[in-house]
Amino acid sequence: MRFTTLSYFTRKPALIGRFSLLLGLFLLLFSWANSYAQNMPQVAPRVIPQNGQPVDPNSRYNFSPNQGGRTDTVLPPSTQDRRIAHTQSGLASGRAPLADPSQGLATPGDWRIKINSSAITNGDVVLLGEIAQPLGTVMNWEELKMRELWAAPPQEGKPLQINRSNLAQALNERLGRSLASRCILPTSLVIQKGGLLVREDDLRAYVVKSLTPMVRNMPGEVDFTDFHLPEYIFLAHAGQTVQLETPRLTAGRVGVRFAILEADGKVLRRVSGSITLTQWVTVPAAARPLSKGEALTPDAVTFSRMNARRLKEPAWDGRGGPWQMMRSVAAGEPILQSDLATQMMIRRGDIVTLVFRRGNLILQTQAESLADGEPGATIAVRNLQTKKQVFAIVKDSKTVEIN
């Protein structure tokens, strides 16, 4: 039997090789798994009973499944430090969301440095104070703002754009990760050596100051809202100016355009923007629902302040009359001039008195109105006796006259 078995393996040497290969792979996997288990970070157990209070595993609290608690894990301090470092790195490189500075800072010590989207530098080296402003109380800001960052653009009066990624990298190198992590970065930074910078706030004040005198003659009250203006305008030198070209002012969206002028008055370029002009007017409105044909009485009229853009046609000015409604109007709805017709008006189909006047001769007869007409209007009527059509002037709601 032994001879037979040995003879079998002698005749099948390939089986020995396959068996050795499988055994080697198994031992290799077992060795790798054992090494991985020994190098894993130790995790301290934490016991949390039903009341939600964590319990120190080293205390005398004896956890038992019957006590209704559960076990959780706490990451070791080294892992927490790696998380903090990763978050700070993300903030500095722009990969993590930044807090909105308009929402304020949580504590007096939670200060930030806001990097502007545009800046002017006057030296050969860009300083932190030229491109940034502190948010909160930065104890050593007077020293930090003099920190040198990088070389200024080589050519004066020519803006240079730096994208967010390069800006974050440069701040990390010049300020260090700790300080750079407190910087709020724009989408990009445009910087110019020398010249002047006109920011959006300056343009907004310029627009309001320039357009306010132009709207004083407009009825009602006028507000300027929803500004969409250039974020910045660079001027190559102090001799260049920005001039607002006079727009056509109407209620609603108004386009504005700024011309950049050279010292000799030549227009170098133009940039556009827009604002919303809201005109508030006080107009007569229905104090209650009004029906078509109803006489308009003082108790049925009130006054309402509304946006002029809601008025598709001119509103009634409150004068004239007596009036009657030409259409139904809901309570609170403005009363337009086209909604009213004088009560002295003649309607088509009305039977009226046709008066023929020449000198001392006056003749009267009955006629049928062939059109609507207010006093003073000329309308066609049909003489009921002769059946002829003539044109007469409306005198009142019952009389027309031929001169």
Q: Work out the end-to-end distance of the chain between its first and last CA atoms, rounded to an integer number of angstroms.
A: 150
pLDDT band at 39, cuts 50/70/90?
low
Q: Say which residue, 94 or 271, is predicted with more confidence.
A: 271
Which three-class secondary structure state does DSSP give residue 402? strand
CA distances from 16 to 4, 19, 29, 42, 381 (A): 16, 5, 20, 42, 126
Cβ(127)–Cβ(121) below 8 Å: yes
Separation in Å, CA 100 to CA 112, 138, 162, 166, 169: 11, 18, 22, 22, 22
More confident of the two residues 298 and 397: 298
pLDDT bracket for residue 184 (50, 70, 90): very high
Same domain, 158 and 243: no
Token pair for 81 = 């430090």
CA distances from 12 to 4, 16, 49, 120, 218 (A): 12, 8, 64, 86, 108
Domain assignment of residue 78, yes or no: no
In the structure, what pLDDT confidence band is assigned to residue 205 with cuts at 50, 70 and 90? very high
pLDDT higher than threshold 90 for residue 295: no
356 assigned to some structural domain = yes
In a domain, 42, yes or no: no
Amino acid at residue number 224: F
Q: What CATH code is carried by the domain that includes residue 396?
A: 2.30.30.760
Q: Is residue 9 part of a domain?
A: no
**Residue 294 identity (one-letter amino acid):** E
Strand partners, 132: 115
Instruction: Residue 115: give the domain boundaries.
Output: 101-194
Instruction: Kindly state the average pLDDT of the residues 326-341.
Output: 89
Let me know if residue 22 belongs to a domain. no
Distance CA(403)–CA(387), nearest Å, equals: 19
DSSP 294: -
pLDDT at 340 exceeding the cut of 90: no
Q: Is 209 inside any structural domain?
A: yes
Q: Would residue 53 count as lying in a domain? A: no
CB of 295 closer than 8 Å to CB of 340: no
Domain boundary among 169, 194, 219: 194
CA distance 371 to 242: 60
- Kindly report, residue by residue over 139-179, the tens digit of the pLDDT: 889 999 999 999 999 999 899 999 999 999 999 999 999 99
Q: Angle, to 10 degrees, between the axis of helix 77-93 and the axis of helix 164-175?
A: 120
